[in-house]
Amino acid sequence: MKKLLITGFEPFGGEKINPSWEAVKLLPEKIGDFALFKIEVPVVFEKAAKTVLAKADEINPDAIICVGQAGGRPSVTPEMVAINLRFASIPDNEGNQPKDIPCVSDGENAYFSTLPVRKMVEAVSEASIPCSVSYSAGTYVCNDLIYHVLHRFKNTETRACFIHVPFIPEQTTDKPSLPLETIAKALKIAIEAI
Ligand code: PCA
């Protein structure tokens, strides 16, 4: 059986929960060919990547999917690309607020996701769940994490991508949201599409 490392984030920015980790927790232990290994990741520059890469070194996964909250987005958005830039408009959970600093000083400007994000989007959309390809994972901790993962596993068999998910209704009265179960279902379908 193949191994999938799937990660969600702790809450940040004054929120009490992060739907990314809540949805990852709801996933079954096995999906298709994959056994799932789930971890919660701190919303801290560098530490998020160290946490995920340490787990990846331990289990040697075939695929890595990192999931994060993109509050305000109306749909589930698999990310096509990660860029070598940190710019934080709010401090991370340890008070770091980098402004225009590279994620990796000698890294490429950008990496494309190595999992089939467009195929994932097609499959999730077919189930009538709002889902679209995103061409920017931002410049905060989510982008930093997936940049490090793609950098570490470039030219290897280990494939990776990031999936941003919206708020859940419990978090907002005026922003778009999706029920937690719908987000978890979208992640399951995306994994089945790999
Ligand atoms: N979303 C943030 C970091 C953690 C999370 O869930 C982001 O989009 O960078």
How much is the pLDDT for 36? 98
How much is the pLDDT for 140? 98
Nearest ligand 1 atom to the CA of 8 is: 6
Nearest ligand 1 atom to the CA of 70 is: 8
How much is the pLDDT for 79? 99
Please tell me the distance between residue 1's alpha carbon and the centre of ligand 1 in angstroms.
Answer: 30
Give the architecture (CATH level 2) of 2-192: 3-Layer(aba) Sandwich (3.40)
Give me the residues of the chain with pLDDT under 70, please: none
- Cross-strand bridge partners of residue 82: 111
Please give the structure tokens belonging to residue 75.
Answer: 């749909």
How much is the pLDDT for 17? 98
Calpha distance 153→25 (Å, rounded)? 25
Burial of 19 (0-12, 13-18, 19+ CB in 10 A): buried
Calpha distance 87→165 (Å, rounded)? 20
How much is the pLDDT for 125? 98
Residue nearest to atom 7 of ligand 1 (CA): 142
Per-residue pLDDT reduced to its tens digit, 137-171: 999 999 999 999 999 999 999 999 999 999 999 99
How much is the pLDDT for 99? 98
Catalytic residue status for 142:
yes
SS (H, E, C) the chain: CEEEEEEEECCCCCCCCCHHHHHHHHCCCEECCEEEEEEEECCCCCHHHHHHHHHHHHHCCCEEEEEEECCCCCCEEEECEEECCEECCCCCCCCCCCEEECCCCCCCCEEECCCCHHHHHHHHHHCCCCECCECCCCCCHHHHHHHHHHHHCCCCCCEEEEEEECECHHHCCCCCECCHHHHHHHHHHHHHCC
How much is the pLDDT for 81? 98
